[in-house]
Amino acid sequence: MKIILLSDVASLGKKDDVVEVSAGYARNSLIPKHLGEEATPANLNNLKLRKKHEAKIEKENLEKALELKKKIEDWKVEVSIKTGEGGRVFGSVSTKEIAEAAEKQYGVKIDKKKLECDVPVKAPGGYDVNVRLHRDVTAVMHVHVSGTN
């Protein structure tokens, strides 16, 4: 019996795969647990349309990410950090502070979890921060940290 998997099943396949299984396994396990559905012509057509729709959405998301990458790479985000005598820093600048500064200065909300700093931002100066916008798109945002007393 042919089954369309509705979620990943160990040793069978991934979601949206069409697999051949025994009729008993399909009727007694996969279908009642909503792990799969019978591969009827209507269900196969729905699968085809769903995959086509997902591909369209993925393409749109990639295009938006590429547009945002161009914008982000032109930015120079200014962040201030409290310093003491001799330019010593109290703490470090977190990704949350960088994300908030970028939103304040440019009006674009960036998730702090998408920011990746190679080195800790513990001193005044310029830093490059990677921003993961999409699984295939990573932008480099320039951050300038200035010290205040």
For 44-113, the DSSP string reads HHHHHHHHHHHHHHHHHHHHHHHHHHHHHTT-EEEEEEEB-GGG-BSS-B-HHHHHHHHHHHH-----GG
Give yes or no for a contact between 87 and 81, defined as CB atoms under 8 angstroms apart. Answer: no
Overall average pLDDT of the 6-27 stretch: 95
- Contacts of residue 88, Cβ cutoff 8 Å, sequence gap at least 6: none
- Render pLDDT for 59-88 as a digit per residue (tens, 0 to 9): 999 999 999 999 999 999 999 888 877 777
> Is 124's pLDDT higher than 90?
no
Overall average pLDDT of the 5-9 stretch: 95
Q: Where is pLDDT greater, at 148 or 63? A: 63
> Is 148's pLDDT higher than 90?
no
Q: What percent of the chain has pLDDT over 70?
A: 99
| Token couple for 110 | 């960036």
Give yes or no for a contact between 93 and 79, defined as CB atoms under 8 angstroms apart. Answer: yes
pTM: 0.72
Overall average pLDDT of the 3-24 stretch: 95
pLDDT at residue 90 in the model: 78
Give yes or no for a contact between 22 and 2, defined as CB atoms under 8 angstroms apart. Answer: no
pLDDT at residue 137 in the model: 93
